[in-house]
Amino acid sequence: MENGCLLNFLRQRSRTLPESWLLSMCQDVCEGMDYLEGHSFIHRDLAARNCLVSEHNVVKVSDFGMTRYVLDNQYTSSIGAKFPVKWSPPEVLHYSKYSSKSDIWSYGVVMWEIFSEGRTPFENRSNVDVVTDITRGIRLYRPQRASQPLYAIMYRCWHEVLNILYFNILTVPCFCTFYKEMHDIFLLFFFSSTITSPFLLRWWCRSLMVGHLSLNCWRKSENWQKIKTSTHILLYRWTPNCLFIVVMNVNIFYSVFVNKYFYKALL
The side-by-side arrangement of strands in the sheet containing 225-228 is 194-195, 252-259, 242-248, 233-238, 225-228
- Would you give the DSSP letter of residue 85? G
Helix axes 100-115, 175-191, angle to 10 degrees: 30
Residue 201 and residue 172 in one domain? no
Same domain, 249 and 130: no
What confidence tens digit (pLDDT) does each residue in 82-123 have? 899 999 999 999 989 899 989 999 999 999 999 999 999 999
| pLDDT at position 92 | 92
- At residue 174, the pLDDT reads 85
State residue 24's pLDDT score: 86
Q: How many domains does the chain have?
A: 2
Same domain, 260 and 165: no
pLDDT tens-digit series, residues 217-230: 444 555 656 666 55
Catalytic: 184?
no
From the list 45, 63, 103, 133, the catalytic residue is 45
Residue 63 and residue 133 share a domain: yes
Q: 178 lies in a domain?
A: yes
CATH of the domain at 59: 1.10.510.10
Q: Give the pLDDT band (50/70/90) at residue 267.
A: very low
1 part of a folded domain: no
Domain stops at, among 188, 219, 237: 188
More confident residue, 7 or 178: 7
Residues 81 and 152 in one domain: yes
Same domain for 177 and 203, yes or no, is: no
pLDDT in tens, 138-154: 999 999 999 888 999 99
- Indicate whether 226 and 167 sit together in one domain: no
Helix (H) or strand (E) holding 22: helix 19-38
Question: 216 vs 101, 172, 212, 213, 237, CA distance in Å?
Answer: 37, 39, 12, 8, 14
Instruction: Evaluate whether residue 223 is within a structural domain.
Output: yes
| Residues 27 and 95 reside in one and the same domain | yes
pLDDT at 77: 85
Which pLDDT does position 226 carry in this prediction? 65
Classify strands 41-42 and 51-53 as parallel, antiparallel or unpaired: unpaired
DSSP label at 118? Answer: S
Domain that holds residue 231: 195-266
Do 76 and 173 fall within a single domain? yes
Q: What pLDDT shows up at residue 119?
A: 97
Domain boundary among 127, 160, 188: 188
Instruction: Please tell me the predicted confidence (pLDDT) of residue 237.
Output: 59
Domain identity same for 117 and 226: no
Of residues 69 and 169, the one with the higher pLDDT is: 69
Same domain, 119 and 221: no
